[in-house]
Amino acid sequence: MSNVEIIQFIIDGVIILFLGYVAFLKSYFQEKGKNLATKEDIEEITSSVEAIKSSFQYSLQTKLSWRAEEHDALVDYYSKFGAWISTIMGVNLAGITYENAERLAEITSVLDDLERQLNAAGSRLELFVSNNDILLQKGPLIIRTLGLQHHAQNVTLEFEGVFLEIEQMKLNTPIDKQIELYIQFLDKQKTIYKKFKDQQLSDYQELLPLVVAHRNTISAHLRKLIGE
């Protein structure tokens, strides 16, 4: 609700308050035969007016609270989406070797956690936001981003496969021949990683227009909420 809408709402409320007051006075004068109001009559009028006023104030506060929730839901959702996709694109397997293979599980765990946070923020968004453009853009964008995450997590599995081969090699190959095989496995890792990054960049270039459109739609809606 924009500032203009809030002002209009307040004006409408004042009008309702006034009309309610007038209607009550009309009824009062009809019943009292236009006699002077007693102290009890005045208290009755005041009580009725205060009831109308209280109802109006509650309605206004409810609308303002809802707008605040909508604003926070949008900001929280897009912040978590930004953190998720940035982390996916920043996946870096350089420096991960057989000796520190546990880092692969850490990468997968972080991505899964960010996805869960986004899903929770997305549910809150759907509860408070009724902008159809935002909601229609959200689904396809998240599905495409899940594809990026799948590729990132899949490459960690490929690395784990290489490390399993290294483990088998260490058990079955004489030490004097292991160095040459280590080099071959290292080259295999480099090939896997390069292929992953090339594909990731290509996928992101296709996804970027959806990201930009979604960001612009959310930004425009936020500006509308604050009355720009």
Low-confidence ranges of the chain (pLDDT < 70): 1-64, 228
- Confidence at residue 34, expressed as pLDDT on a 0 to 100 scale: 47
Give tens-digit pLDDT for 42-87.
Answer: 555 556 555 555 555 545 566 667 788 899 999 999 999 999 999 9
CA atoms within 13 A on the CB side of 71: 14
Nearest to 150 by CA among 80, 91, 77: 91
- Confidence at residue 103, expressed as pLDDT on a 0 to 100 scale: 94
CA torsion 130-136-141-142 (nearest 10°) is: 60
- Confidence at residue 67, expressed as pLDDT on a 0 to 100 scale: 84
Domain boundaries, the chain: 3-225
- Confidence at residue 48, expressed as pLDDT on a 0 to 100 scale: 55
- The pair of structure tokens assigned to 17 is 């308050």
Element (H, E) at 133: helix 132-172
Positive or negative, the CA dihedral 208, 211, 215, 221 is positive
Q: Ramachandran region of residue 95, left (φ > 0), alpha (ψ -120 to 50) or beta?
A: left
Distance, in Å, from the CA atom of 147 to the CA atom of 228, rounded to the nearest integer, reads 36
Distance, in Å, from the CA atom of 156 to the CA atom of 162, rounded to the nearest integer, reads 10
- Confidence at residue 225, expressed as pLDDT on a 0 to 100 scale: 85
- The pair of structure tokens assigned to 90 is 């920043």
Nearest to 73 by CA among 228, 223, 218, 226: 218
pTM over 0.75? The answer is no
